[in-house]
C-alpha cells in the first residue's frame, strides 16, 4: 500500500488523530503550537455539532449551521495536515495506520473515532428504524417525516394514515427527549398550517424508555419535570417499556402490545466504532476501548483513545465516563498537555473529569438544568441551555445563523426549513442531488 501523499517527513514526531469530532478537533487545536507534526483524519471534511442534530431533523436548523469545515480550523498551520479517509487497520508492530487512501506511520496515535447507534443485535430494528448519529441521518429523518405527511395527504386507508402520522421514539435520554419535544411543538404550531387537510389530533408521538424514568442520570427533580413537560406537550411517555421487534409498520413491545407506525426513531444506545488491529482484549462493554488514567489504551505504549470510544474505569465512574462532549473535550485537552510533558520528560497528569452539569430542553421555555450545586427547571434553564449551546457552536457566522433561526422560530412560531432534499440516481447509478443541498 502506498503512503498517504503530501505529508512530509520533517523530523518532528508525528501525532495521527483519527476523528474530527469534539475530542479529535480539540486535541488537534491544542497541539497546533507544539513541536509535533499533526495529521487529522476524518471521513468528512467538517466537524458536526451533534447536540443539535435533532433540530436539523425537525427542520429547526439547516445542516450547514451546525457544521464547520475542518480545514478552516487549521488555516496557515503548516505542521497540521488533514485528509478525508477511513481507517481500515492499525499495524501496531510497525506503527502504521492503513486507510482507504494509503498508509501512514505514526509516533503517537490518538483514536477519537466516536460511537455509532447500538441496536443490541436486533436486525429487524436495525433494518427498519431511523438512527440519528450524523448529519446525513438527521436529514434522512427530516425527509422521512415530511414525506410521510405528504403521503398521508394522498392516502385513503385510515390505518395507513395513522401509521404515517404516528412517530415512535425509543430512548428517553437527552436526544430522545429533545426530539420528542421538538416534534410535539411542530405538531402543535406548524404542521396544521402546512397540512390543513390532515387531522393532527390523530398524530401520536410516543417516547419509549426501558428505565423507570426519562432523562435517566439526571436528578430526580429534572426527570420528573422533563416527563411533565413532555406530557404537557402531548407526548405519550412510556417508561419501563422494552421494544422487542419492528417490521417497518408495527412496533412490538416486550409485553406483547403493538404500536402502528411507519416511523421508529432509535435513540436507545450507542456503541464504539470498531478499530481493527488492536486486539479484542482491549475492547470492553459497548465496544469502547479500555484506557488507563492517561487515556493510554491497555497493552499499548503510544496509542491513546479519547471521547466516546474510551472507557476509563474510576471509583466514581466504574463503567466509564458519560459519553458526552465535555468528557471528550477535557480528555483531549489533557492528552495534548501530557504529550508535551512526555516529550520533556516531565511527570504526566491523570485525568479527572470536571462535571459542569447537564442540560436538556423539551420545548419553548421548557428545560431542565442539573449544575454541580443546584438543579432548576423551566424558563431560566431554557435560557441557559440556549446560551451554552450557542457558544459551543464553532464559527461566528454559524452562531449568528443559529441565533437568527432560534429568534425567528420563537417570535413567529414557525420555521422555514421544511425542505425535502433527496438523492436521485443518474444514468450511471450514482447519487446526485436534485437541488442545492447544504453538504
Q: What is the pLDDT of residue 76?
A: 85
Strand stretches in 94-165, DSSP E:
96-99, 102-105, 108-111, 115-117
Residue 353 main-chain phi, psi, to 5 deg? -75, 130
Q: What is the pLDDT of residue 438?
A: 38
Cα-trace Rg, the chain:
23
With beta carbons less than 8 A apart as the criterion, state whether 67 and 139 touch: no
Q: What is the pLDDT of residue 427?
A: 47
User: Can you tell me the distance from the alpha carbon of 165 to that of 146, in angstroms, rounded to the nearest whole number?
Assistant: 10
With beta carbons less than 8 A apart as the criterion, state whether 165 and 347 touch: no
How many CA atoms lie less than 13 Å away from 140 in the CB half-sphere?
A: 14
Q: Report CA torsion sign: 290, 293, 294, 299.
A: negative
Q: What is the pLDDT of residue 284?
A: 95
Name the grid cell of 274. 470498531
Name the grid cell of 225. 419535570
Q: What is the pLDDT of residue 430?
A: 47
Name the grid cell of 406. 432560534
User: Can you tell me the distance from the alpha carbon of 406 to that of 401, in angstroms, rounded to the nearest whole number?
Assistant: 9
User: Can you tell me the distance from the alpha carbon of 296 to that of 109, in angstroms, rounded to the nearest whole number?
Assistant: 10
Q: What is the pLDDT of residue 274?
A: 95
Q: Is 359 exposed, middle or buried (0-12, 13-18, 19+ CB in 10 A)?
A: buried
With beta carbons less than 8 A apart as the criterion, state whether 437 and 431 touch: no
C-alpha angle 333-71-8 in degrees, rounded to nearest 5: 85
In the chain, where does the domain assigned CATH 3.50.50.100 lie? 123-268
Of 3.30.70.20, 2.60.40.1180, 3.30.565.10, 3.50.50.60, the CATH number of 14-43+85-116+271-344 is 3.50.50.60
Q: What is the dihedral of CA 324, 230, 144, 191, to 10 degrees?
A: -140
The topology (CATH level 3) of 123-268 is FAD/NAD(P)-binding domain (3.50.50)
In the chain, where does the domain assigned CATH 3.50.50.60 lie? 14-43+85-116+271-344
With beta carbons less than 8 A apart as the criterion, state whether 138 and 54 touch: yes
Per DSSP, 186 falls in state I
DSSP of 384-418: HHHHHHHHHSSSHHHHHHHHHHHHHHHHHS--S--
Q: Report CA torsion sign: 69, 116, 405, 144.
A: positive
Active site amino acids: 178
Q: What is the pLDDT of residue 429?
A: 46
C-alpha angle 181-184-190 in degrees, rounded to nearest 5: 125
Q: What is the pLDDT of residue 420?
A: 81
Number of other residues whose CB lies within 10 A of the CB of residue 377: 22
pLDDT in tens, the chain (439 residues): 789 989 999 989 999 999 999 999 999 999 988 999 999 999 999 999 999 999 999 999 999 999 999 999 999 888 999 999 999 999 999 999 999 999 999 999 999 999 999 999 999 999 999 999 999 999 999 999 999 999 999 999 999 999 999 999 999 999 999 999 999 999 999 999 999 999 999 999 999 999 999 999 899 999 999 999 999 999 999 999 999 999 999 999 999 999 999 999 999 989 999 999 999 999 999 999 999 999 999 999 999 999 999 999 999 999 999 999 999 999 999 999 999 999 999 999 999 999 999 999 999 999 999 999 999 999 999 999 999 999 999 999 999 999 999 999 998 888 767 788 776 655 444 444 444 333 3
3-state secondary structure of 264: strand
Span between the terminal Cα atoms of the chain, in Å = 31
With beta carbons less than 8 A apart as the criterion, state whether 108 and 95 touch: no
Q: Report CA torsion sign: 44, 45, 51, 57.
A: negative
User: Can you tell me the distance from the alpha carbon of 335 to that of 351, in angstroms, rounded to the nearest whole number?
Assistant: 9
Q: What is the pLDDT of residue 426?
A: 54
Strand stretches in 115-223, DSSP E:
115-117, 167-170, 205-208
Amino acid at each position: 500500500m502506498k503512503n498517504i501523499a503530501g505529508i512530509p517527513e520533517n523530523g518532528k514526531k508525528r501525532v495521527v488523530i483519527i476523528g474530527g469530532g469534539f475530542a479529535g478537533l480539540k486535541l488537534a487545536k491544542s497541539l497546533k503550537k507544539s513541536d509535533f507534526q499533526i495529521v487529522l483524519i476524518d471521513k468528512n471534511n467538517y466537524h458536526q455539532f451533534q447536540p443539535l442534530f435533532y433540530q436539523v431533523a425537525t427542520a429547526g436548523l439547516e445542516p450547514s449551521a451546525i457544521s464547520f469545515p475542518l480545514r478552516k480550523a487549521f488555516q496557515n498551520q503548516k505542521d497540521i495536515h488533514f485528509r478525508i479517509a477511513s481507517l481500515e487497520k492499525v499495524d501496531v508492530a510497525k506503527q502504521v495506520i492503513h486507510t482507504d487512501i494509503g498508509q501512514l506511520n505514526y509516533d503517537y496515535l490518538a483514536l477519537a473515532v466516536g460511537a455509532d447507534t447500538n441496536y443490541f443485535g436486533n436486525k429487524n430494528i436495525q433494518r427498519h428504524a431511523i438512527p440519528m448519529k450524523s448529519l446525513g441521518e438527521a436529514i434522512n429523518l427530516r425527509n422521512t417525516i415530511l414525506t410521510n405527511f405528504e403521503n398521508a395527504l394522498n392516502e385513503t386507508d385510515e390505518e395507513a394514515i395513522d401509521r404515517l402520522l404516528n412517530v415512535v421514539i425509543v430512548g428517553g435520554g437527552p436526544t430522545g427527549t429533545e426530539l420528542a419535544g421538538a416534534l410535539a411543538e411542530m405538531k402543535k404550531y406548524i404542521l396544521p398550517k402546512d397540512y390543513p387537510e390532515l387531522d393532527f389530533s390523530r398524530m401520536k408521538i410516543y417516547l419509549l424508555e426501558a428505565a423507570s424514568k426519562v432523562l435517566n442520570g439526571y436528578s430526580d427533580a429534572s426527570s420528573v419535570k422533563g416527563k411533565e413537560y413532555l406530557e404537557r406537550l402531548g407526548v405519550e411517555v412510556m417508561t419501563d417499556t422494552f421494544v422487542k421487534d419492528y417490521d417497518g409498520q408495527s412496533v412490538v413491545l416486550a409485553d406483547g402490545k403493538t404500536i402502528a407506525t411507519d416511523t421508529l426513531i432509535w435513540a436507545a444506545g450507542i456503541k464504539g466504532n470498531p478499530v481493527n488491529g488492536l486486539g479484542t482484549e482491549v475492547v470492553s462493554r459497548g465496544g469502547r476501548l479500555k484506557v488507563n488514567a492517561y487515556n493510554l489504551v491497555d497493552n499499548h505504549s503510544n496509542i491513546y483513545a479519547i471521547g466516546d470510544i474510551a472507557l476509563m474505569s474510576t471509583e466514581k465512574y466504574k463503567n466509564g465516563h458519560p459519553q458526552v462532549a465535555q468528557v471528550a473535550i477535557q480528555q483531549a485537552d489533557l492528552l495534548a498537555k501530557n504529550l508535551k510533558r512526555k516529550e520533556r520528560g516531565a511527570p504526566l497528569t491523570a485525568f479527572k473529569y470536571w462535571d459542569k452539569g447537564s442540560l436538556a430542553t423539551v420545548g419553548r421555555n421548557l428545560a431542565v438544568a442539573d449544575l454541580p450545586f443546584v438543579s432548576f427547571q423551566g424558563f431560566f434553564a431554557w435560557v441557559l441551555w440556549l446560551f451554552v449551546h450557542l457558544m459551543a457552536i464553532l464559527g461566528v457566522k454559524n452562531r449568528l445563523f443559529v441565533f437568527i433561526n432560534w429568534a425567528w422560530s420563537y417570535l413567529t412560531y414557525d420555521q422555514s426549513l421544511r425542505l425535502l432534499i433527496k438523492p436521485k440516481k443518474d444514468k450511471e447509478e450514482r447519487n446526485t442531488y436534485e437541488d442545492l443541498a447544504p453538504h
